[in-house]
Amino acid sequence: MRSVMLGMVPAALVSAQGPPTDFAPGDARSETAHSISIAGEDVAYTATAGYLTIPSYDGKPKARMFHIAYVKDGVEDRSTRPVTFAFNGGPGSSSVWLHMGALGPARVVMGPEGEVPPPPYRYVENEWSWLDLTDLVFVDPVSTGYSRPAEGQEAGQFHGLDGDLEAMGEFVRLWTTRHQRWASPKFLAGESYGTTRAAGLVRWRHGRSDQPGRRVGQPDQPGGFDQPGRPARGLARPDGTP
36-75 tens-digit pLDDT: 999 999 999 999 999 999 998 888 899 999 999 999 999 9
pLDDT at residue 208, rounded to an integer? 62
Please determine, for residue 12, whether its predicted confidence score (pLDDT) is greater than 50. no
In angstroms, what CA-CA distances link 63 with 23, 74, 143, 170, 177? 14, 33, 9, 11, 18
- Domain membership of residue 239 (yes or no) is no
- Domain membership of residue 231 (yes or no) is no
How many helical (H) and strand (E) elements, i.e. helices and strands, does the chain have?
3, 12
Please determine, for residue 233, whether its predicted confidence score (pLDDT) is greater than 60. no
Q: Return d(Cα 54, Cα 49) in angstroms, integer.
A: 16
Q: How confident is the model over 128-175, as pLDDT tens digits?
A: 999 999 999 999 999 999 999 999 999 999 999 999 999 999 999 999
> What is the Rg, in whole angstroms, of the alpha carbon atoms belonging to the chain?
18
Q: How many CB atoms lie within 10 A of CB 53?
A: 19
- Domain membership of residue 201 (yes or no) is yes
Q: Is 143 left (phi over 0), alpha (psi -120 to 50) or beta?
A: left
Q: Is residue 88 a contact partner of residue 100, using CB atoms and an 8 Å limit?
A: no
Q: Which domain holds residue 16?
A: 4-222
Q: Is residue 164 a contact partner of residue 91, using CB atoms and an 8 Å limit?
A: yes
Q: How confident is the model at residue 25 (pLDDT cuts 50, 70, 90)?
A: low
- Domain membership of residue 49 (yes or no) is yes
Q: Return d(Cα 199, Cα 10) in angstroms, integer.
A: 12
Q: Is residue 165 a contact partner of residue 62, using CB atoms and an 8 Å limit?
A: no
- Domain membership of residue 127 (yes or no) is yes
Q: Which residues contact 136 (CB under 8 A, 6 or more apart)?
A: 69, 70, 83, 84, 86, 103, 104, 129, 130
- Domain membership of residue 17 (yes or no) is yes
pLDDT at residue 171, rounded to an integer? 96
pLDDT at residue 168, rounded to an integer? 96
**Into how many domains does the chain fold?**
1
- Domain membership of residue 238 (yes or no) is no
CATH number at residue 130: 3.40.50.1820
- Domain membership of residue 60 (yes or no) is yes
What is the percent of the chain with per-residue pLDDT over 90, rounded to a whole number?
67
Computed over every residue of the chain, the mean pLDDT equals 80
Q: What is the dihedral of CA 87, 89, 92, 95, to 10 degrees?
A: -30
Q: What is the pTM for the complete model shown?
A: 0.78
Q: Return d(Cα 163, Cα 50) in angstroms, integer.
A: 22
From 7-16, 19-28, 109-118, 194-203, the region with the lowest mean pLDDT: 7-16
